[in-house]
């Protein structure tokens, strides 16, 4: 069945509900190039402004899945579970989480992406490890899952190609924020990936994509429903992203911190969220008799990390890259650090070279921001608050501007929001 693209656009422009046949046709036709970018741009804007029903979102997601291949992990000897984060500052959780869950008996097929703007990308972080490679064939991915139990890699070109094309279009047409398109973008890839269980980490706060808890909750509920309807056991946690996670924002800096967590140390918030998400993944996969905190403490997770890095060509014992230049930012008074804004720290790390403005831009492995205090900590005048790392010292000035007003020092600490704000599913 064929339609005129303009009629599909008018239906949504006039707040009508698209039929399943219209959705199937327009997604397929756009993927094949029969619907022009400007036409899909108009439809995406109409969706942003007028929304979609649950039935429309579900059908749109299925049409995106149908545009490419579906992976199948049913032949593995253990259940599978995956995690997706909507992105934040210092969010290195995937790095210790994947080997931790694998060490507890559940295989983790983690398809990850690269950073854009102030949010870091898991693949960029891991590429700071000498020799590590992100691109694996489906056969290599399956073999590594069977042998090691965990893989973190880039999604292949055959997985939801409609999403790749539409994602790039949304990025340049002001339609990224449309919840139906966000939900279908994330879930089409995760469902096509073939995992049996999925835990969603939906970030809320200044450094997150979703600043507002109500909208984050709407996105979480939409994605959980999509996953559940597709037969994937799905749960979502809303987690705080008003302050950076851990004490680093950057690529090699975050890998180093992740290894500290796997070695039984690391910042308390990173450990807490890693163990919390691991418990959710194990429960969703039907494994309830293993405590991930023990697997983190006794070195089992570190063993899987080392095997996982080696399996993808990396050297877990190699020195990680360091930036050529550093600059320290100090406190201007005594008191208690009451606020440290995640967005401003993330933008500063991006300016220093840890992130990219366009997908084709390179990143610096050693660039980023190191934190020496978190909200609630006592500080003294002249004490280091942040260390800026970069290979391009000209970037220090713009990074300092981005950090203007990023923190407050008061007489006493304010109550901090819990790390896990809510649970959906």
In whole angstroms, what is the distance from residue 33 CA to residue 172 CA?
18
Name the active-site residue from 82, 124, 163, 201.
163
pLDDT reading at 230 higher than 80: yes
203 flagged as catalytic = no
Name the active-site residue from 170, 190, 203, 306.
170
Chain centre distance of CA 313: 23
Q: What is the pLDDT of residues 371-419, one digit of tens each?
A: 999 999 999 999 999 999 999 999 999 999 999 999 999 998 778 889 9
163 flagged as catalytic = yes
| pLDDT at residue 2, as a whole number | 86
Q: What's the CATH number for 81-156+170-311?
A: 3.40.1030.10
420-424 and 197-204 strand pairing: unpaired
384-390 and 420-424 strand pairing: unpaired
Name the active-site residue from 12, 59, 83, 84.
84
185 flagged as catalytic = yes
Residues in the chain: 425
pLDDT reading at 357 higher than 90: no
Name the active-site residue from 41, 85, 184, 185.
185
Architecture of domain 325-410: Alpha-Beta Complex (3.90)
Q: What is the pLDDT of residues 96-117, one digit of tens each?
A: 999 999 999 999 999 988 876 7
Q: Is the distance from CB of 85 to CB of 97 less than 8 angstroms?
A: no
For residues 86-91, average pLDDT: 94
What are the structural domain ranges in the chain? 5-51, 81-156+170-311, 325-410
Q: Is the distance from CB of 133 to CB of 313 less than 8 angstroms?
A: yes
CA 318 to each of CA 133, 151, 262: distance values in angstroms, whole numbers, following the listed order: 15, 20, 16
170 flagged as catalytic = yes
Name the active-site residue from 59, 92, 189, 300.
189
Q: Which residues contact 202 (CB under 8 A, 6 or more apart)?
A: 86, 210, 216, 217, 219, 220, 223, 236, 237, 238, 239
For residues 161-167, average pLDDT: 90
Q: Which fold has domain 5-51?
A: 1.20.970
233-240 and 420-424 strand pairing: antiparallel
pLDDT reading at 249 higher than 80: yes
pLDDT reading at 360 higher than 80: no
Q: Nearest-5° angle of CA 77, CA 81, CA 87?
A: 150
Q: Is the distance from CB of 71 to CB of 194 less than 8 angstroms?
A: yes
258 flagged as catalytic = no
Q: Which residue has the tokens 């507002």?
A: 212
| pLDDT at residue 51, as a whole number | 97
Q: How many CB atoms lie within 10 A of CB 135?
A: 11
Q: What is the pLDDT of residues 34-58, one digit of tens each?
A: 999 999 999 999 999 999 999 999 9
Q: Which residues contact 374 (CB under 8 A, 6 or more apart)?
A: 243, 247, 267, 269, 337, 340
Q: Is the distance from CB of 362 to CB of 226 less than 8 angstroms?
A: no
| pLDDT at residue 156, as a whole number | 83
């Amino acid at each position: 069945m064929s339609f005129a693209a303009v009629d599909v656009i008018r239906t949504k422009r006039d707040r009508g509900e698209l039929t399943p046949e219209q959705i199937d046709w327009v997604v397929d036709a756009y993927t094949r190039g029969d619907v022009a970018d400007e036409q899909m741009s108009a439809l995406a804007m109409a969706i942003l402004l007028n929304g979609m029903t649950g039935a429309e979102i579900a059908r749109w997601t299925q049409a995106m899945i149908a545009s490419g291949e579906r992976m199948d992990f049913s032949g593995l000897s253990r259940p599978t579970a995956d995690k997706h984060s909507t992105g934040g500052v210092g969010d290195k959780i995937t790095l210790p989480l994947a080997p931790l869950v694998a060490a507890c008996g559940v295989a983790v097929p983690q398809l990850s992406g690269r950073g854009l703007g102030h949010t870091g990308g898991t693949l960029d972080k891991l590429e700071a490890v000498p020799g590590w490679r992100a691109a694996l064939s489906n056969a290599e991915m399956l073999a590594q899952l069977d042998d090691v139990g965990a893989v973190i890699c880039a999604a292949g070109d055959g997985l939801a190609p409609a999403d790749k094309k539409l994602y790039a279009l949304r990025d340049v047409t002001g339609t990224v924020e449309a919840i139906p398109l966000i939900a279908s973008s994330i879930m089409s890839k995760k469902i096509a990936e073939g995992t049996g269980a999925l835990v969603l980490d939906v970030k809320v706060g200044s450094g997150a994509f979703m600043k507002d808890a109500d909208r984050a909750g709407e996105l979480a509920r939409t994605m959980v429903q999509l996953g559940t309807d597709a037969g994937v056991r799905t749960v979502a946690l809303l987690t705080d992203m008003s302050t950076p996670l851990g004490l680093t924002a950057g690529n090699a800096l975050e890998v180093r911190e992740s290894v500290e967590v796997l070695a039984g140390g690391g910042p308390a918030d990173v450990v807490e969220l890693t163990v919390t998400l691991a418990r959710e993944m194990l429960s969703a996969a039907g494994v309830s008799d293993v405590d991930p905190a023990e697997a983190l403490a006794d070195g089992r997770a570190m063993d899987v990390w080392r095997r996982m890095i080696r399996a993808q060509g990396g050297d877990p014992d190699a020195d990680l890259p360091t930036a050529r230049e550093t600059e320290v930012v100090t406190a201007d008074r005594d008191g208690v650090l009451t606020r440290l804004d995640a967005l401003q720290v993330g933008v500063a790390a991006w300016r220093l070279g840890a992130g990219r403005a366009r997908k084709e831009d390179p990143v610096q492995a050693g660039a980023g921001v190191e934190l020496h205090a978190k909200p609630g900590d006592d500080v003294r005048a002249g004490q280091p608050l942040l260390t800026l790392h970069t290979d391009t010292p000209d970037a220090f000035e713009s990074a300092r501007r981005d950090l203007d007003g990023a923190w407050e020092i008061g007489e006493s600490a304010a109550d901090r929001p819990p790390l896990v704000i809510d649970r959906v599913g």
